[in-house]
């Protein structure tokens, strides 16, 4: 079945550094991918919609200059958390949908900023 | 606007009991999709089911069953003869009628199955 690979699965970084998270669709092409964020014991909230070949669409309250999204190919979207701070520590998860079938999620990335 | 309500924050049952997780949704779309996902402690989301708004047939998959009631905007999930491995957070979610629309998640229900 459709598989979405997300890397890394966890990362610890120092405050002020940037972190890049990759989301790949392994056996299908995804023109659209979604990035969600989940704080501890909370639900998943949509951060942005990543469209191949065009600018991402960000949800209200999500800083586009802080969370850079690049969707340069039909199988890869990246989320870069720039100048990360402890409050950015969260679980980030991507999803993608092919031509058929339900949305598939990556396994998520647990980011800890110290 | 779309909204999903999972009123049960936490449920605890003893192994082999049946348990039903409630989900109520709001949408103005006439065509939409409903989902259930399981999130174990490791964090990944495990897809359980997708149902479109025109298919009100109840579905059974092993110990899992789903009851879709359009009249009450509910999409409840029942686990029969629960097992310890069923312990997880379960999310109900809703998406719009066109392809490539994101999911709106409920707040999740944390299920603990005690041996």
Q: Which residues make beta-bridge pairs with B76?
A: B67
- Reduce the DSSP state of residue A33 to 3 states and report it: strand
> Is the distance from CB of A114 to CB of A11 less than 8 angstroms?
no
- pLDDT one-digit tens code per residue, B60-113: 999 999 999 999 999 999 999 999 999 999 999 999 866 568 899 999 999 999
Q: How far is B70 from chain A (nearest CA, A)?
A: 20
> Is the distance from CB of B90 to CB of B37 less than 8 angstroms?
yes
- Across A57-69, average pLDDT: 95
User: Touching check for B100 and chain A: CB below 8 Å?
Assistant: yes
Backbone angles phi, psi at A28, to 5 degrees: -155, 165
> Is the distance from CB of B76 to CB of B34 less than 8 angstroms?
no
| CA dist B65 → A28, A72, B36, B62 (Å) | 29, 40, 11, 8
| CA dist B1 → B4, B95, B112 (Å) | 10, 11, 32
Q: Which two tokens stand for residue B24?
A: 């109520």
Provide the percentage of residues in chain A whose pLDDT is more than 70.
94
Q: Which residues of A touch B66 (CB under 8 A)?
A: none
- Across A69-85, average pLDDT: 93
Q: How far is B81 from chain A (nearest CA, A)?
A: 26
Cα(B33)–Cα(B55) distance, rounded to whole angstroms? Answer: 10
Q: How far is A51 from chain B (nearest CA, A)?
A: 10
Quote the DSSP letter at residue A99. Answer: S
A34, B102: Cβ pair inside 8 Å? Answer: yes
A44, B105: Cβ pair inside 8 Å? Answer: yes
Q: Could you tell me which residues of chain A have a Cβ less than 8 Å from any Cβ in chain B?
A: 31-32, 34, 36, 42-46, 49, 91, 93, 95, 97, 102-105, 107-108, 110
Reported confidence tier of residue A102, pLDDT bands at 50, 70, 90: low
pLDDT at site B98: 63
B43, A110: Cβ pair inside 8 Å? Answer: yes
B43, A107: Cβ pair inside 8 Å? Answer: yes
Q: Which residues of B touch A97 (CB under 8 A)?
A: 99-100
- Across A4-17, average pLDDT: 96
SS3 content of chain B, % helix, strand, coil (to 5): 5, 50, 45
């Amino acid at each position: 079945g459709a598989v979405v690979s997300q890397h890394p699965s966890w990362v610890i970084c120092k405050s002020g550094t940037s972190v890049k998270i990759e989301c790949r669709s392994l056996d299908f092409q995804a023109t659209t991918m979604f990035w969600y964020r989940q704080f501890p014991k909370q639900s998943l909230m949509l951060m942005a919609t990543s469209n191949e070949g065009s600018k991402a669409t960000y949800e209200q309250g999500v800083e586009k200059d802080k969370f850079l999204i690049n969707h340069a190919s039909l199988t890869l979207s990246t989320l870069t958390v720039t100048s990360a701070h402890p409050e950015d520590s969260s679980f980030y998860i991507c999803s993608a949908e092919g031509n058929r079938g339900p949305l598939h999620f990556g396994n998520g990335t647990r980011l800890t900023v110290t | 606007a779309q909204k999903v309500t999972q009123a049960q924050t936490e449920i605890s049952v003893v192994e082999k009991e049946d348990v039903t997780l409630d989900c109520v949704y709001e949408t103005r779309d006439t065509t939409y999709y409903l989902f259930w996902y399981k999130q174990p402690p490791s964090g990944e989301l495990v897809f359980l089911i997708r149902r479109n708004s025109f298919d009100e047939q109840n579905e059974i998959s092993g110990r899992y069953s789903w009851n879709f009631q359009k009249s009450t905007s509910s999409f409840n999930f029942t686990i029969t003869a629960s097992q310890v491995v069923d312990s997880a957070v379960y999310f109900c979610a809703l998406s719009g009628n066109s392809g490539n629309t994101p999911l709106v998640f409920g707040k999740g229900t944390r299920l603990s199955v005690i041996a």
